[in-house]
Structure 1
């Protein structure tokens, strides 16, 4: 187990913590990459794809980070009502109690958490969210010698009930479902929209949930350290995301 797994964090997560604490900006992380000679994350990922053929994520299609910058309409944003979680959240340098989330109704907030975290990290800017996700994706795989190869099929499995119970829905890495209302749970069981309560991860780093179709958000992300072979979230209730997802993805 490497140091990142012991701490349940990574350099990318430490950068995000500093950003939401008001101690850093996304530009600080990008400047560090440029100091290593990396001008563009897109260009760097293309080079990885050309040079490295051992990891399915690098060698396959990448998540569309630019699509995450698309903002919903003013009407859609004004109708946002956040669900009160069980854990506090850090936003703009302020730690808010769970019930404070209702103060942000009518505003987009996007949440991140990681194993053993006692709070969620909240971002209210889509460009910052998209830039950080791309940074985290690249940081996870730029040193391919540290990327473990697992004899499992990488992906996420979402479950109907807590504790990985009930009907199950699987997605391969770098894939997802952009409209869960079109995914059947089985004969006479309805569809998967607003039905996800827990999930497991195998050989992937990020699970994404959105409470709108087509990944419009708001979003909630679960991020695990590089080299984590398996992880699970046994209940989404503490984060205010039980029975809420309308689109999901993983990478």
Structure 2
């Protein structure tokens, strides 16, 4: 697979799924060709490695990400209107149409050009896709059991737009499942204050509206081979000051 194809694979897969032209089995089939014979075994290898690192943040746990949100959370969802259109089930909607889906849990993925978002309304599907991006990034380490090959990197979440204000560094392959318990110095905690972030040496950053990764989510995925990225104002996507848990890998 050439460099251009490498750059667009994860986005192409999700875009095809949203359009109804593919499903996650296509992603699993690709990983199999790349040497990842068992998703469960691969995740176990990575989790064992990550659990040995001593940091304040927590290892990514897809079992926790997969838990359904409590009905009382879903029923109270009021969507913030983004500045870009979005595509759901193959239909493109204008930003203001997001209010049609109040009371329904949605998961948002920014596209490379930031001119629209892909939207998924199935938690199991979005978690399967997160697993695909995770395993695809580390497939060589999984196949060869080379623990030292896991990349170091981090996402720096900020409490002000334009990458200003306090910073919450989050290590690669880890997250914070309860930002209300993470200290922000004189200004309290990190719950519902993240407004921008930058990424270095990681591929995915995700924000969740509620603690323990419940409720809606927003994902930013860097193209393959890109070592740095940033979102200078989450307000553009309707996600400023909303996150109660975060993760990155």
Q: Which residue of 2 aligns with 1:53?
A: none
For residues 220 and 183 of structure 1, the distance between their equivalents in structure 2, rounded to whole angstroms, comes to 20
For residues 218 and 140 of structure 1, the distance between their equivalents in structure 2, rounded to whole angstroms, comes to 24
Following TM superposition, by how much is the alpha carbon of 1:72 offset from its aligned partner in structure 2, in angstroms?
1.5
Check 1:183–1:63 CA distance in 2 against 1; reply closer, same or farther (3 A cut).
Answer: closer
1:98 correspondence with 2:88: no
What do you get for the CA RMSD once the two structures are aligned?
2.6
Asked if the contact 1:164/1:234 (under 8 Å) is kept, the reply is yes
SS at match of 1:208: strand
Alignment of 1:198-237 (within 5 A): 198-237=196-235
1:83 correspondence with 2:73: no
Q: Which residue of 1 aligns with 2:113?
A: 116
For residues 99 and 224 of structure 1, the distance between their equivalents in structure 2, rounded to whole angstroms, comes to 27
Following TM superposition, by how much is the alpha carbon of 1:3 offset from its aligned partner in structure 2, in angstroms?
3.4
Following TM superposition, by how much is the alpha carbon of 1:143 offset from its aligned partner in structure 2, in angstroms?
4.1
Check 1:237–1:201 CA distance in 2 against 1; reply closer, same or farther (3 A cut).
Answer: same
Check 1:35–1:200 CA distance in 2 against 1; reply closer, same or farther (3 A cut).
Answer: closer
SS at match of 2:184: coil
Alignment of 1:121-200 (within 5 A): 121-143=118-140, 154-187=153-186, 189-200=187-198
SS at match of 1:163: coil
Following TM superposition, by how much is the alpha carbon of 1:46 offset from its aligned partner in structure 2, in angstroms?
5.1
Q: Which residue of 2 aligns with 1:3?
A: 3
SS at match of 2:185: coil
Aligned length: 235
SS at match of 1:10: helix
TM-score w.r.t. the length of structure 2 is 0.85
Q: Which runs of 5+ in 1 are unaligned?
A: 50-56
Asked if the contact 1:115/1:224 (under 8 Å) is kept, the reply is yes
Check 1:122–1:25 CA distance in 2 against 1; reply closer, same or farther (3 A cut).
Answer: same
For residues 93 and 121 of structure 1, the distance between their equivalents in structure 2, rounded to whole angstroms, comes to 9
Asked if the contact 1:8/1:114 (under 8 Å) is kept, the reply is no
Following TM superposition, by how much is the alpha carbon of 1:65 offset from its aligned partner in structure 2, in angstroms?
1.4
For residues 142 and 175 of structure 1, the distance between their equivalents in structure 2, rounded to whole angstroms, comes to 18
Check 1:36–1:186 CA distance in 2 against 1; reply closer, same or farther (3 A cut).
Answer: closer
Q: Deviations over 1:215-239 (max 9, x none)?
A: 1121111111233221111110110
